[in-house]
Structure 1
C-alpha cells in the first residue's frame, strides 16, 4: 500500500482535517469486514470507517447519525436498493457524498444510483489503493467512475444514448417489484425471496404477479429471459 500517495487527504477542502470518515453499506457482512480491514489497515491516515449498514433502513439510520464524508454503497440491498438509500439520506443530509461500489455494471444499476445522486460508481474489482483514491476524489468534489463505466455514463447523460430507453420498462415497476424481479430472475424460490427481503411469501407472490402483468410476461422463465437480455442479472 506504499504506492498510495500521502497528499490525498491534504488536497481536500481547506477546512478538512484527519482521515475521511466513511460508512460501508453492503448486505454481505464478510465483504464489509474485508473492505474495512483493507481500508483501515492499509491507509488509516486517509480513511476511518465510522459505521456500517446492511439494508436500506439500517444504512439510512447509521448515515444520518454518523454524517460521514463518503458512503461506499452497494446498489443491491434489502429494503429498496442503493438508490433508495441515497434518496432518503439526501432529503435531510444533502451534503453526504455517495460512491457506489458494486459487482454490477448493468446499465440500469449505474444510471439508477447516479440519477439518485451518487457522485461515482466503481466495481468491486477495484484495488485498495484505487478505492482510497476514489474516496478522496469524491470527497473533494470529483465524479469517479471505473474506466468502462465512464464512457457509458457520459454517453447516457450527453444524449448519445437515451437514459429513458435504459429503464423505460423498469419505470413501470416499483422499487420493491424490481427487487423481487431480480431475485426471481436469478433463480430464487419464493421462500428465498421472502427471506432475503424480509417479507411474506404471499407478498412475494403478489409482487411477481404484478411484475408479470406490467411487463406483459407469462411466467418466471420469460421473466428470467427478459432480465438477462437487459443484463439486470
Structure 2
C-alpha cells in the first residue's frame, strides 16, 4: 500500500458505471496530484482491479448497474483492510448511507459535492478521517447510538490512558486530527500517535471503528 506521507501522491481507484462521470472524476483527481491507478465499471471489476493496483482510497458508487457498490465495498475492505472506501453516490437516503458504512465504507459523499470538496474528502479519507457530506455524520452516529448495547456513562477500559480516552471522545464527535490538536493544544503528530495507540490497544482498524466503539461505550457525550 502506498504511504501518502512518503510518496506525496495518494493512490486512488474510481468505481462508477457511468463512463463520462467516471472519467471526469478520475481526470479531476489526477489534475489535483492524485495517483489515479485504475477505474472500474462494476463490482466484480472493482474487486479484481483493487487487488491488483492496491489503491489507498477507492471512490465507490453504490448503484453499479446490475451490481452493488455495497457488495464491492464489503469485499474490498475484507481483502484489503488498509484500503479506505469513500462512497460517492447520488443517494443521500439513510438506508443507503448506513448500509455502506456497515459494509466498511470510511465515508460517504453526495455527488453534488464540488470538485474542491471531493479533493479534500479523498485526502482526509487517505489520512484516516471518517468523511461525510454535511448532515450524514450525525445520521450515522445516531444510528450506532441507537444500536449500542452498552448504556451511556460506561467507564473507559482501564488500558486506555486519560489522554487517549479524551482523544477518543473527540473522534466520536467527528473532529479531525487537526481539530483535536487545536482543541487540546497538542501537535498534530501527538494526536495521531494517540489515535494509533488506541487503535492498537482496542484492536480496531480506523477512526470509523473508533467512533463506533466510543458510542457503544458511552464515550461520545460531554
- TM-score category of the 2 structures, normalised to the smaller one: 0.5 to 0.7
Shift of 1:157: 1.2
2:6 partner SS:
coil
Could you tell me which of 119, 137, 155 is aligned with 1:132?
A: 119
Please give the per-residue CA displacement for 1:168-213, whole angstroms capped at 9, x wherever unaligned: xxxxxxxxxxxxxxxxxxxxxxxxxxxxxxxxxxxxxxxxxxxxxx
**Structure 1 position 26 matched with structure 2 position 30:** no
1:30-74 Cα offsets, whole Å, 9 max, x none, are: 101111122222x12xx1211011111111111110000000000
Which residue number corresponds to residue 70 of structure 1?
Answer: 57
1:120 paired to 2:110 = no
Alpha-carbon distance in structure 2 between the residues aligned to 1:134 and 1:144:
6
Q: Report the secondary structure of 1:68's partner residue.
A: coil
How high is the TM-score relative to the length of structure 1? 0.59
Is 1:154 the counterpart of 2:135? The answer is: no
Partner SS for 1:16: helix
Q: Which runs of 5+ in 1 are unaligned?
A: 1-12, 162-233
Give the aligned length.
Answer: 147
Aligned pairs for 1:42-61 (under 5 A) are: 43-44=32-33, 47-61=34-48
Counterpart Cα distance in 2 of 1:153 and 1:145 = 9
Q: How far does residue 91 in structure 1 lie from its aligned partner after superposition?
A: 2.7
Cross-structure match for 2:25 = 35
Three-state SS of the structure 2 residue aligned to 1:125 is coil
Structure 2 stretches lacking a partner, 5+ long = 149-222
Alignment of 1:188-203 (within 5 A): none
Shift of 1:92: 2.0
Residue 90 (structure 1) shift: 2.5
CA contact (8 A) 2:15 2:59 kept: yes
Q: TM-score, normalised by structure 2?
A: 0.62
Name the residue aligned to 1:169. Answer: none
Which of these residues, 62, 84, 91, is aligned with residue 104 of structure 1?
A: 91
Q: Is the CA contact 1:21–1:69 (under 8 Å) kept in the aligned structure 2?
A: yes
